[in-house]
Amino acid sequence: MDTPLLEMRGISKRFPGVVALDRVSLSVGPGEVLALCGENGAGKSTLMKILGGVYRPEEGELLVDGKPVCIENVNDSMALGIGFIHQELNILDNLDIAANIFLGREPLIAPFQIIDRKKIHADTEPLLKRLGLNIPSTTLLRNLSIAQQQMVEIAKALSQKARIIIMDEPTSSLTLTETDCLLDLITGLRAEGVSIIYISHRLGEVSRCADRVEVLRDGKNAGGLSRSEINHDNIVAKMVGREIKNHRVPSEAKLTPGFLKVRNARSSRYPDQRVSFDAARGEILGFAGLVGAGRSEMMKAVVGLDEHGCAEVTLGEEFLVIRHAKDSIGNGIFLVPEDRRGEGLITAMSVRENTTLPSLGSYSTSGIISKARETVVAKEQIASLRIKTPGAESLVRNLSGGNQQKVAIGKWLAMGPKVLILDEPTRGIDVGAKAEIYRLVRTLANNGAVILIISSDMEEVLHLSDRIAVMHEGRITGVLEEADCNEQNVIQLAVGRSVAAAKPAFQ
């Protein structure tokens, strides 16, 4: 190959506490489709955000057409011919196709600086034709399907003379037919000389459309695969291969298998899938899977927080009717959500008020709250979880992330959980607080609670779980017993392949 169109050399990027990228290199030739693969947190998104001008690297150089360039912001990136199709589409659904494509750079007619509507529509039509989209350019974006909206984003990139288009998980919300269309479109663009960097967890798509695969692992290059080498097993082999130190604390609990039975959990995210699983009393059941596998959504349906979802839950021998969060909470099933500040806590309220919020009734007599009783319990939680706060009256927003998370967990501990569901419990938390949360979770299990942990952190899920249920596209692809819990198996199940050792999720 001659000079690559784009080259990234020795790119490093650190965030407080983590090295996100460690001397990563990458190159894309003209008209080449490069697939970028790796686990959650391997550094794919960070690397692409550097290309898109969102982050700036601390080390390394970028070359376009063999010449060193500097990308300081999104405009620089666009000027170099790099187009970015984000997973969350950047569209204004109240405007029509042409207005979206020319947003921010509308051609104007002097003297009153009126938008030249004729011109933008005239310029848009051929772009749409080129992408095979037979829709008038005056259609409002809200009337298009997600796949069509994505096409509009691609059209926008092309209208900006993009030579490299980055697609981050472009098929995550597309149907099978739409995915086919997109893959055909990619082939077409390649034939026109447009280069594509394709990020996807779906290895089938990667095998179908990529000329070359680059795999990242823990922020480093884990190796590349040429066209003839691309297949499922080779990609997975490069994605794993990290040594995981396993300091698992074994369960000391007497397990009561089948204590929690969840049947036919259906979330609004995957309305066609029904998820069922069993969990034992005293066990930590991990839920692994790639981002978007529908784990959080399924749990929300289980606890009654998904208005259009439903689930049949049996706890012990009792069949529970759960329509609202109040019902699951009343039965001792608690969820610590992933979004601490948005869903788990009221950050403008004090530690005391947050701790007692779900069980205010038990701190009150005929509707009047006893602040003294609240304070006692809040202080107990502060002491037993070692929450670093000036006092029970401090506002939660003034605490660090780790301490906020402890409050978010503490408010349920005060109520004696039978089932505690933790969604990404250690995201954005420092190492010390992480270890404390791990210990706490194990103690809870040993004391007879069912613990369900959703984690996208491979190391964490392997470290904590007694068994691991792996989800893919809204369903459980298999459950791994303790002896079979390893990265290889988890990844295989997470990308939707079967593993011989995997067990069904329920009897």
- Contact positions toward other proteins, by CB under 8 A? 305, 324-326, 328-330, 335, 337, 342-349, 353, 357-358, 360-361, 364, 367-369, 398, 411
Give the pair of three-digit tokens for residue 434: 């992480």
Give the pair of three-digit tokens for residue 351: 């530690």
CB of 189 to other proteins, least distance (A): 40
Q: Which is nearer to other proteins, 202 or 411 (CB)?
A: 411
CB of 274 to other proteins, least distance (A): 24
CB of 397 to other proteins, least distance (A): 11
Cβ(279)–Cβ(285) under 8 Å? yes
Q: Which is nearer to other proteins, 291 or 369 (CB)?
A: 369
Measured distance CA(309)–CA(331) in Å, rounded: 19
Cα angle for residues 343, 344, 346 (degrees, 5° grid) = 85
Q: Which is nearer to other proteins, 103 or 369 (CB)?
A: 369
For 33, list phi and psi in degrees, rounded to 5: -105, 110
Cα angle for residues 294, 40, 6 (degrees, 5° grid) = 125
CB of 416 to other proteins, least distance (A): 15
Cβ(334)–Cβ(260) under 8 Å? no
Burial of 61 (0-12, 13-18, 19+ CB in 10 A): middle
Q: How many other CB atoms are found less than 10 A from the CB of residue 44?
A: 25
What is the H or E stretch that residue 272 is in? none
Q: Which is nearer to other proteins, 398 or 447 (CB)?
A: 398
**Residues 95/97/100/101 CA torsion (nearest 10 deg):** -170
Distances, alpha carbon 83 to alpha carbons 50, 220, 285, in Å = 13, 24, 41
H-state helical runs in 175-334: 176-191, 203-209, 232-239, 295-302, 325-330
Q: Which is nearer to other proteins, 324 or 388 (CB)?
A: 324
Q: Which is nearer to other proteins, 406 or 411 (CB)?
A: 411
Burial of 72 (0-12, 13-18, 19+ CB in 10 A): exposed
Contacts of 222 (CB under 8 A, 6+ apart): 38, 215, 216, 238, 239, 241
Q: Which is nearer to other proteins, 130 or 371 (CB)?
A: 371
Quote the strand ranges of 90-134, DSSP E. 108-109, 114-115
CB of 149 to other proteins, least distance (A): 23
CB of 317 to other proteins, least distance (A): 24
CB of 398 to other proteins, least distance (A): 8
CB of 402 to other proteins, least distance (A): 19
Cα angle for residues 403, 407, 412 (degrees, 5° grid) = 150
CB of 417 to other proteins, least distance (A): 13
Q: Which is nearer to other proteins, 109 or 360 (CB)?
A: 360
CB of 411 to other proteins, least distance (A): 8
Q: Which is nearer to other proteins, 111 or 367 (CB)?
A: 367
Measured distance CA(23)–CA(13) in Å, rounded: 8
Q: Which is nearer to other proteins, 24 or 345 (CB)?
A: 345
Q: What are the b/e assignments for 220-240, b being 16+ CB within 10 Å?
A: bbbeebeeeebeeebbbbbbb
CB of 288 to other proteins, least distance (A): 23
Measured distance CA(66)–CA(5) in Å, rounded: 7
Measured distance CA(302)–CA(265) in Å, rounded: 6
Give the pair of three-digit tokens for residue 105: 């750079």
Q: Which is nearer to other proteins, 304 or 496 (CB)?
A: 304
Q: Which is nearer to other proteins, 369 or 501 (CB)?
A: 369
Distances, alpha carbon 457 to alpha carbons 199, 432, 487, in Å = 19, 16, 11
CB of 373 to other proteins, least distance (A): 13
